Structure 1
Amino acid sequence: MRGIIEFSNYCLQDCLYCGLRCSNANIKRYRMTDDEILSGAKDILGSGIGTIVLQSGEDTFYSSQKIVNLIRRIKDETGLVITLSIGEWPFEDYELFKAAGADRYLLKHETSDAQLYKDIRPGCELSCRLKCQKHLKSIGFETGSGVMVGLPGQTIESLAEDIMMFRELDIDMIGIGPFIPHDETPLKVPLKVRLKWFSR
């Protein structure tokens, strides 16, 4: 069992499948304060759950030092195992998070198909994501990743590559879920149109 606190739904990315995408104007945005997050952590501890997941969009409001301070407070006041799911950061920031007491890091790559990754995550490269995952592993984090099944343009071959990549990266936690189109994203269009966009 894990207690998840989604502390911000702001995100600088514009992924075609995600309702938090920065161009979605029809979402009520929020950011939790440190005290609100800590209160949630204490509730999680009080319910008998030993692991907290701190999750957000890629929100630059939270500097690396803010995250470090938050990790330290949660560790000092609850002793919970801490999993971070906060996207891509410079390598030196990952090292700060680990030194502050974070235990696990979840960084899904959604697909091992480099072109499909680029299609659904404009301006992003799969190679960068994989470098982050490998660095997280190398500095002692338990690492988590995952993919979606049913993405437009996805093939059986790329699904097989997904499984092989999990083994290559020696991922500790794997999440695999169905692609479900979100109403406020470009992928919430008829299937025939989506397939036309991504046909190669």
Structure 2
Amino acid sequence: RYRMTVKEIISSAKVAVDKYRFKALVLQSGEDDWYDDDKLITIVKALRKMGILIFLSIGMRSRETYQKLFDAGARAALLRFETSNKEIFAKLRPGTNLDDRINLIKELKNIGYVVATGFIIGFPGETNEDRVNNILLTKSLSPDMYSFGPLIPTMGTPLEAQKKVAKDLVLKTIAISRFVDNNCNILVTTALETLDESAKREALLAGANSMMINMTPLKYRPLYAIYDNRSDLSKEIDNSIKETVDLLYSLGRSPIDIGV
């Protein structure tokens, strides 16, 4: 893991907006309380002056924190419920409560955030019924974006021996989600790209319609060891943008949150 300073984050955002003309940026920290309210508010206010959509991915925080950040200028938030199965959730996230997580997602909607939520595919003990319930729970929360991806077994973690999720299972989940909610935005996650080089294209063809480009400075990417064999560890930002735009154009689509 790593931490960027407030100054580094604002500087990286400025490059994304001024050089690459991004119109939306995701601030991702996980559940790291080092980024307290004061630091987050400073960052959000600085980015708000750049005239972009600010998307938060900061995990379980208080409603008051999210309200402060909304007031500072943040307008979107990503918070997955992880799984609809309470038993699986309790085993994987001891000391936390699924209902609390779901309630916070609902509170984000009430505050006025554009909300992205969803789940992870492939937890131990997960059944097809669980996967269906995951999709239905996502829809019931009325999110603006569905975000789900495969579990990637990673060395040194409790789930390192878990079987790798089949790409087709993820693509099927995307397709079913598209049928269940034909007006939703469905994100192609980095975890899915890690499964297979062709997964990004296949996901878009299966029903996904949203993508994110990693703007993390290259020197920090190897330190983000959330799972092994990440697909974008050494890829230059210019190349990532070109590949993404070329892919969209090849499918008859075009980007809307980047000025190209």
TM over 0.5: yes
Runs of at least 4 residues off by over 4 Å: none
The answer to whether structure 1 residue 175 and structure 2 residue 133 are counterparts is no
Match of 2:156 in 1: 184
Corresponding residue number in structure 2 for 1:144 = 116
Aligned-pair identity (%): 38
Over 3 Å counting, the alpha-carbon distance change for 1:190 and 1:102 in structure 2 is closer
Match of 1:56 in 2: 29
Higher strand share: 1
Whether 1:127 aligns to 2:102 is no
Mapped partners of 2:145, 2:118: distance in 1? 8
Secondary structure of the structure 1 residue equivalent to 2:83:
coil
In structure 1, runs of 5+ residues without a counterpart are 1-8, 10-29, 192-200
The aligned counterpart of 1:161 is 133
Secondary structure at the counterpart of residue 4 of structure 2: coil
Q: TM-score, normalised by structure 1?
A: 0.78
Q: Which residue of 2 aligns with 1:13?
A: none
Q: Structure 2: which 5+ runs fail to align?
A: 164-260
User: 2:156, 2:30 → 1: CA distance?
Assistant: 16
Instruction: Give the alignment of 1:4-153 within 5 angstroms.
Output: 9=1, 30-45=2-17, 46-76=19-49, 78-153=50-125
RCO higher in 1 or 2 (8 Å CA, sep ≥ 6)? 1
Secondary structure at the aligned position of 1:79 is classed as coil
Query: 1:189 Cα shift?
Result: 2.2
Partner of 1:197: none
Aligned partners of 2:124 and 2:162 also within 8 Å: no
The alpha-carbon deviation at position 57 of structure 1 amounts to 2.2
Q: TM-score, normalised by structure 2?
A: 0.60
Letter in 1 for 2:20: S
CA gap of 1:190–1:97, structure 2 versus 1, over 3 A, is: closer
| Matched residue count | 162
